[in-house]
Chain A
Amino acid sequence: MKVSYYPGCSLHATGKEYDESMKAVSGALDITLQEVDDWVCCGASSAHMTNYKLSVALPARSIIAAEKENLDVMVPCAACFNRFKMAQHHLRHDDALKAEVEGIVGDTYQDSVAVRNPIDIIYTDIGLETIEAKVTRKLTGLKPVSYYGCLLLRPPEVCEFENYENPYMMDAILKALGAEPRKWSCGTDCCGGSLSIGKTEIVVHLCNKLMRMAREADANCLVTACPLCMANLDMRATEGLPVFYFTELMALAMGLDGPNKWFKLHNVNPLPLMQSLGLQ
């Protein structure tokens, strides 16, 4: 399949290993990624927390650019995904705003492409059987908890994520890789998001709680699909377990090049865990 690809700003910097593993996995699963032409930052929390119109106009410009290709848009960053879905929601339900935003962007919003996150694309369109068939090294002994966070899921009528209070798709993908995901009740809790810089102590408190709950669930790592959650969990928790992007683990299980290089970019070094499980 072929999709438009909106990497967003993080995937070019702190979320570099998410971008690289996403591309490696997509290549192996025959998903062709075509980067959205001349994309602009989605504005993230900072736009919607301070200027509503700006928070719709910024993603609208990139969505309209993607509409020219008439392909679904894959948005790996949960924050960008949320802002894209939110912009679509407002443009659909507020004609006056739509007209104004179209004037600002200088083009028409067609509402012709779907904004999708890669968990959904990989689970729904590619499917577990295809993934299982590509696994060359089972991730035996790896006991992750799936951490979805907020922005992929909420608000549910905007994000349209399957089973938003008790999501299962990431666990299912991890099981297909041979890992042994643990059940826990914090997979949809908040890491503190953009408060990381302006109010660090709140984020430390939330991430420490998540780590404690992961340990209580007998997990040896956490898995995420959001560069903001990754940055907070990996860098703000006082005694953190290793944290992975789900695509890094997919690449590892499918025997693709890259995992050892990506793991070195993490703050909490995952190599001792991987060595102890013979997964390096």
Chain B
Amino acid sequence: MSTFLQEVNDKINGVPIQRCYHCRKCTAGCPIAFAMEYNPNKIIKMIQEGKRDEVLASSTIWLCASCETCVTRCPNDVDIARMMDVLREMVITSNLPVKEKNILKFHEAFLNGIKSGGRINEPLMIANYKMKSGDYFSDMKMGIDMFMKGKLSLFSPKTKDMKAVRKIFEETKAR
């Protein structure tokens, strides 16, 4: 039985996160740290301490915007942005509760859009998100404005070889 730390390291498949010596440069430069439940350095510490449940249940892993500032500045080359991706993927594949549901619903709506047309049709993707999240009314005025300006069309060119697109989704599904 591998530890949580080993499990995360295996999935990152790069620099092991115990290389972190907790200088907290990642957190000092993180633009989203102010809104996070645990800051990026704290998440590394918690993984090292084996706190699987707390880490995977946290808002932090969903709020990370992947700006890659932490990775760029880490003196030990710990790939913190990739680590956040790995943690999100662990929540999804283990079917665990998601702290920031709307963020995941947005990602699902986005990927559904690719699955159905090979490319994103922005108004249809947003409509799909609204159905999933129940957040029907936010940004309504903005959407109507853009529609009136002709920026959003319900019909946009799709990928022709949809068989290839479906194959990509089918064969990259988590098993």
Contacts and interface: CB of A to CB of B under 8 A. Distances in A.
Given A13-B152, A41-B119, A54-B172, A155 B110 contact: no
Given A38-B159, A46-B106, A195 B63 contact: yes
B102 A198 contact: yes
Contacts of A267: 142, 145
B76 interface: no
A105 interface: yes
A198 B72 CA distance: 26
B22 interface: no
B106 A164 contact: no
Nearest to B92: A50
Interface residues of B, number: 64
A50 B104 contact: yes
A135 interface: no
A239 B10 CA distance: 46
Contact of B126 (A16, A44, A197, A206): A197
A100 B41 CA distance: 33
B85 A48 contact: yes
A12 interface: yes
Given A50-B92, A154-B68, A202-B35, A197 B106 contact: yes
Interface string A235-269: 10000000000000000000000000000110100
Interface string A59-98: 0010000000000000000000000000000000010000
Contacts of A14: 122, 146, 151-152
A190 B72 contact: no
B49 interface: no
A52 B119 CA distance: 19
Interface in A143-176: 150, 153-156, 164-165
Given A49-B84, A104-B172, A195-B32, 19 more contacts: A13-B120, A13-B122, A13-B153, A38-B161, A44-B110, A48-B66, A51-B172, A105-B164, A106-B164, A150-B67, A154-B71, A155-B71, A190-B65, A192-B31, A192-B65, A194-B107, A195-B65, A197-B139, A202-B65
